[in-house]
């Protein structure tokens, strides 16, 4: 089976969040099932720079007013197609934002072009000699692909639309519609019209053969007004085509036994070696040496991630004898609140603004617990990394966090299956209580070690999830 995966980012070439990790890891996980994935991504400067060996395999003479080349390359086990159109992608900023942090005003055109190119590939008019059996698209940036396919030569080819975060929908004013190279009938409720605007994600959800989200709980949550972000009615009408498949992680990249980014490697049952990583963390974040757990946060600093709740409990963490380290960036007010806490509690709270991949590995390998107080979380990956590294997750009871962490209640502790702490309601008081529960468990070394080891035994790889995707693909092709 040949699958075309279409995404706006892919690790390790370009990454702004978990989407890139998923798109980068799934192809190798599907290979044992006889599924060969080619991944189409935009030709951002960072992508073209890293791909030293690439060749033109086709092109589009006129893609929204300019010619585009299709390049083929291999990188870190990925089979890639790259849409090279400098007018759209040769920018100094990131994939979505300019150097001032603002959305590119032509993002609608940039990602419509990516979707249209994918549809043309599916129609066998761009890459001679290669045609997919199925197309899998990710998030709003590629959601117009099944819409273009519906009006093109690949109308009968199955498509899968994965929602990584329904909060980001790609909604633009109706004035952009004439520029999208779609027939007039596409501006209707059956396709892209959304409350008088153009809805990229809405169009994909309306036309894809199957819809997936990145955890079973999130698949249920987005059917409700609280989490559906206005699309719950559409999703309810398509509930028979909706499923939740929890994300996995790249178990080779995130492996505490072999990780080259941490000072001391260790395995299940050898947790004392983590102390060496803790010492490096203390130095890196300017923490006082001494007892007490280190809680870490590796996150975008936003309301969705519950960072305002974290800011309200920083004093409590220190008062209880804990320490806190934070890696991330985001909302300026939240950054300021955490920096103020670090200033109040020098030696007990440390912070690094930005993102640092090696440091994120070290924090999982040396911290005692990771805090994830998200108000909604489609899947989440940092809790999976925490489980893998024996960094006990403390998570809000929502979405994929619910599906992947077993709460340390009395029954789970007695059965020796607990892997972390869940809390609800998702409030400062809820988070505060979860931290108190964790502190109580931390004071019993055998209990804490059991939590760590049980988490490290969890299967957080892509194996089971890849099997579910393979089954989904096969079922769609069988219905053909």
Alpha helices in 90-224 (DSSP H): 107-122, 145-150, 200-207, 216-221
- Return the pLDDT at 201: 98
At residue 456, the pLDDT reads: 98
What is the chain's length? Answer: 480
Query: What is the pLDDT at residue 140?
Result: 98
| pLDDT at position 273 | 96
Contact by Cβ (8 Å): 23, 138: yes
Angle between helices 200-207 and 107-122 (to 10 degrees): 20
Cα 274 → chain centroid:
27
Rounded Cα gap, residues 304 and 308, in angstroms? 9
Long-range contacts of range 121-124, CB-CB < 8 Å, 24 or more positions apart? 121/4, 121/40, 121/70, 121/81, 122/4, 122/149, 122/152, 122/154, 122/157, 123/149, 123/152, 123/153, 123/154, 124/153, 124/154
pTM score, whole prediction: 0.91
Residue 125's pLDDT is 81
Yes or no: say if 378 and 404 are a contact pair by the CB < 8 Å rule: no
Quote the CA–CA distance of 1 and 133 in Å, as a whole number.
6
Domains of the chain, start order: 2-248+463-479 (3.40.50.2000), 271-457 (3.40.50.2000)
| Residue carrying the six token digits 């909060």 | 167
Encoded tokens for 285? 């974040």
10-residue mean pLDDT series, the chain (480 residues): 98 91 94 98 97 95 96 97 98 94 96 98 92 98 98 96 96 98 97 98 98 96 96 97 94 95 96 97 96 96 97 98 97 97 98 94 98 96 97 98 97 97 98 98 97 97 95 94
Question: Annotation-wise, does 15 bind a ligand?
Answer: yes
Compute the distance between CA of residue 169 and CA of residue 231 in angstroms, rounded to an integer: 9
Looking at residue 17, its pLDDT comes to 82
Q: What pLDDT sits at residue 62?
A: 95
Residue closest to 6 by CA, chosen among 22, 23, 26: 23
Q: Residue 124's pLDDT is what? A: 86
């Amino acid at each position: 089976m040949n699958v075309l995966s279409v995404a706006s980012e892919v690790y390790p070439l370009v990454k702004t969040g978990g989407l890139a990790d998923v798109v980068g890891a799934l192809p190798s996980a599907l290979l044992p099932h006889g599924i060969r994935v080619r991944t189409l991504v935009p030709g951002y400067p960072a992508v073209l720079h890293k791909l030293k060996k690439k060749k033109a395999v086709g092109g589009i003479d006129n893609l929204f007013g300019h010619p585009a080349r299709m390049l083929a390359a291999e990188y870190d086990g990925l089979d890639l197609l790259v849409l090279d159109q400098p007018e759209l992608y040769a920018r100094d900023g990131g994939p979505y934002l300019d150097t001032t942090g603002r959305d590119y005003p032509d993002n609608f055109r940039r990602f419509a072009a990516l979707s249209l190119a994918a549809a043309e590939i599916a129609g066998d008019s761009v890459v001679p000699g290669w045609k997919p059996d199925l197309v899998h698209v990710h998030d709003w940036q590629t959601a117009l692909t099944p819409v273009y396919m519906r009006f093109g030569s690949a109308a009968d080819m199955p498509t899968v639309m994965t929602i990584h975060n329904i909060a980001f929908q790609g909604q633009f004013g109706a004035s952009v519609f004439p520029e999208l190279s779609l027939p007039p009938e596409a501006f209707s409720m059956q396709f892209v019209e959304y409350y008088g605007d153009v809805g990229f994600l809405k169009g994909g959800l309306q036309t894809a053969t199957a819809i997936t989200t990145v955890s079973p709980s999130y698949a249920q949550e987005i059917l409700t007004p609280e989490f559906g972000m206005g699309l719950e009615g559409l999703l309810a009408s398509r509930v028979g085509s909706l499923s939740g498949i929890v994300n996995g992680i790249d178990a080779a990249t995130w492996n505490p036994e072999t990780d080259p980014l941490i000072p001391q490697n260790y395995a299940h049952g050898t947790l004392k070696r983590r102390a060496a990583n803790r010492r490096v963390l203390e130095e890196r974040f300017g923490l006082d040496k001494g007892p007490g757990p280190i809680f870490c946060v590796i996150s975008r600093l936003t309301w969705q991630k519950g960072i305002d709740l974290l800011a309200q409990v920083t004093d409590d963490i220190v008062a209880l004898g804990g320490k806190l380290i934070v890696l991330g960036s985001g909302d300026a007010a939240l950054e300021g609140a955490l920096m103020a806490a670090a200033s109040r509690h020098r030696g007990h709270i440390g912070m690094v603004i930005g993102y640092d991949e090696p440091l994120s590995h070290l924090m999982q390998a040396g911290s005692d617990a990771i805090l994830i107080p998200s108000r909604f979380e489609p899947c989440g990956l940092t809790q999976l990394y925490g489980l893998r590294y024996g960094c006990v997750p403390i998570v809000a009871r929502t979405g994929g966090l619910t599906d992947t962490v077993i709460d340390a209640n009395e029954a789970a502790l007695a059965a020796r299956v607990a892997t972390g702490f869940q809390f609800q309601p998702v409030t400062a008081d809820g988070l505060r209580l979860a931290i108190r529960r964790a502190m109580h468990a931390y004071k019993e070394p055998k209990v804490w070690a059991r939590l760590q080891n049980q988490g490290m035994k969890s299967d957080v790889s892509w194996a089971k999830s890849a099997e579910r995707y393979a089954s989904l693909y096969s079922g769609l092709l069988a219905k053909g």
